[in-house]
Amino acid sequence: MRIALAGLGHVGAATLRLLQANAELLAERGQMMKVVAVSARDKGKKRDCDVSGIDWVDDVLDLAKRDDVDIVVEVVGGASGIALELARAALKNGKHFVTANKALIAAHGVELAQMAETHKVQLSFEASVCGAVPVLKMLREGLAANRISSIRGILNGTCNYILTRMESEGADFATILADAQKLGYAEADPSDDIDGIDTANKLAILAAVVFGRAPDLGAIFVEGIRAITLQDLRAASAKGGRIKLLGIATRNEAGEVTQRVQPVFVPLTEAVANVGGVFNALEISGDFSGETLIQGRGAGDPTASAIVADLVDIARGNRGYAFGVPAEKLV
Ligand code: HSE
């Protein structure tokens, strides 16, 4: 499989490192994977990856036009702009498109899924929700037999990292946020993390896969963690719990879906309360499976694991509808 990589930030560089470090393993598990072209904003920037022997392309959209590319991987970010143009161009030109971009999928996922179906290529975005944790695969495949009544999760690594360190160290919000940025956890504009928008993007994607609802950010009540103080965290602790920023979606008997993002008091007796730092977690309640909980690293370099898992699926021929059902079925 010949891959073009758009974006060489933390996750892009980690993806390249993973593909190089585990090349033999990936060839055994799927097919040989070779990054043939890369594109990023600043060619001169020092990066934690080796691009020697790979074509550097100045205009990122050229990646979608190359005959020697089978899959375009996008880790540029943003709900529209270059990421959207690249997605459209890649799919139209018959390239598979793999992305970690939750803002793009929440805003344009249905259109892109339709395009992928029309052009008979794969659109995959496992890395867009919960970083390295294979939540979409679990929901689309492992739990596909269930009618799911609710999902509840910690979907933003930056917020969980901030809340965890505020509580454990009494550390200052701005200092911890700066660390989250250095570690590659935060969005380009970290207010997307803090104000719950990133969590809402991810919840919209999950709700599409679980409930067959077209992602609709307008349908989600969103409150972030900006107003949470150290006093709030201490008060929660005194009451035997923690405050977590949760994304919650439920479906009632009548089929009505409710989605919300908000800081929630979670008693320490619940597993989610003990998911700390950059870790994310998702609880799923299925009619036959009962409760399922999955957790792992939700941001930064480990996200590369989910991107490459999508590449392995494509290499193996494990393809399917991006949201688990045809795009036209999403309501
Ligand atoms: N800013 C996001 C987070 C990155 O902190 O979870 C991973 O989607």
Cross-strand bridge partners of residue 150: 250, 285
At 4-62, the pLDDT tens digits run 999 999 999 999 999 999 999 999 999 999 999 999 999 999 999 999 999 999 999 99
Task: Give the burial string for 190-199 (b: 16+ CB within 10 Å, else e).
Answer: bebbbbbbbb
What amino acid occupies position 52?
S
Domain ranges for the chain: 2-131+301-329, 135-297
Distance, CA 66 to ligand 1 centroid (Å)?
A: 31
Alpha-carbon torsion, ordered 153, 155, 157, 163, to 10 deg:
-50
User: What distance in Å separates the CA atoms of residue 77 and residue 230, rounded to the nearest whole number?
Assistant: 32
Name all residues whose Cβ lies below 6 A of ligand 1. Answer: 131, 156-158, 185-187, 193, 198, 298-299
User: What distance in Å separates the CA atoms of residue 7 and residue 178, rounded to the nearest whole number?
Assistant: 22
> Which pLDDT does position 128 carry in this prediction?
98
For residues 287-307, average pLDDT: 98
Among all chains, which residue has been given the structure tokens 């598979």? 96
- What percentage of residues in the chain have a pLDDT greater than 90? 99
Closest atom of ligand 1 to 128 CA is: 8
Integer-rounded Cα radius of gyration of the chain: 19
What amino acid occupies position 254?
A
Tokens read off for 261: 């993002």
Alpha helices in the chain (DSSP H): 10-21, 23-29, 81-92, 102-118, 135-137, 157-169, 173-182, 191-194, 197-211, 230-238, 303-316
> Which pLDDT does position 161 carry in this prediction?
98
Tokens read off for 205: 């994607």
Q: Whose CA is nearest to atom 1 of ligand 1?
A: 186
Report the interhelical angle of 230-238 vs 157-169 (nearest 10°). Answer: 70
> Which pLDDT does position 117 carry in this prediction?
98
Q: How confident is the model at residue 188 (pLDDT cuts 50, 70, 90)?
A: very high
Backbone angles phi, psi at 186, to 5 degrees: -80, 155
At 59-110, the pLDDT tens digits run 999 999 999 999 999 999 999 999 999 999 999 999 999 999 999 999 999 9
For residues 224-245, average pLDDT: 97
User: What distance in Å separates the CA atoms of residue 296 and residue 298, rounded to the nearest whole number?
Assistant: 6
> Which pLDDT does position 31 carry in this prediction?
96
Burial of 292 (0-12, 13-18, 19+ CB in 10 A): middle
Task: Output the CA torsion sign for 207, 99, 127, 142.
Answer: positive
For residues 246-266, average pLDDT: 98
Q: How confident is the model at residue 134 (pLDDT cuts 50, 70, 90)?
A: very high
For residues 197-224, average pLDDT: 98
Instruction: Please count the CA atoms within 13 angstroms of the CA of 150 that sit on its side-chain side.
Output: 12
For residues 151-168, average pLDDT: 98
Cross-strand bridge partners of residue 5: 38, 73
User: What distance in Å separates the CA atoms of residue 131 and residue 127, rounded to the nearest whole number?
Assistant: 5
Give me the catalytic one of 95, 102, 137, 202. 202
- What percentage of residues in the chain have a pLDDT greater than 70? 100
User: What distance in Å separates the CA atoms of residue 241 and residue 265, rounded to the nearest whole number?
Assistant: 6
Catalytic residue list contains 43 = no
Contact call for residues 188 and 75 (beta carbons, < 8 A): no
> Which pLDDT does position 269 carry in this prediction?
98
For residues 251-261, average pLDDT: 97
> Which pLDDT does position 164 carry in this prediction?
98
Mean per-residue pLDDT over the chain, rounded: 97
Contact call for residues 157 and 181 (beta carbons, < 8 A): no
For residues 240-264, average pLDDT: 98
> Which pLDDT does position 82 carry in this prediction?
97
Q: Which of 193, 199, 282, 301 to mutate to test the pocket of ligand 1 (most atoms within 8 A of CB)?
A: 193
Per CATH, is 2-131+301-329 categorized as 3.20.20.210? no
Closest atom of ligand 1 to 280 CA is: 6
Distance, CA 138 to ligand 1 centroid (Å)?
A: 19
Contact call for residues 139 and 165 (beta carbons, < 8 A): no
> Which pLDDT does position 141 carry in this prediction?
97
Q: What is the CATH number of domain 135-297?
A: 3.30.360.10
Question: Collapsing DSSP states into helix, strand and coil, what is residue 227?
Answer: coil
Closest atom of ligand 1 to 127 CA is: 8
Q: How confident is the model at residue 111 (pLDDT cuts 50, 70, 90)?
A: very high
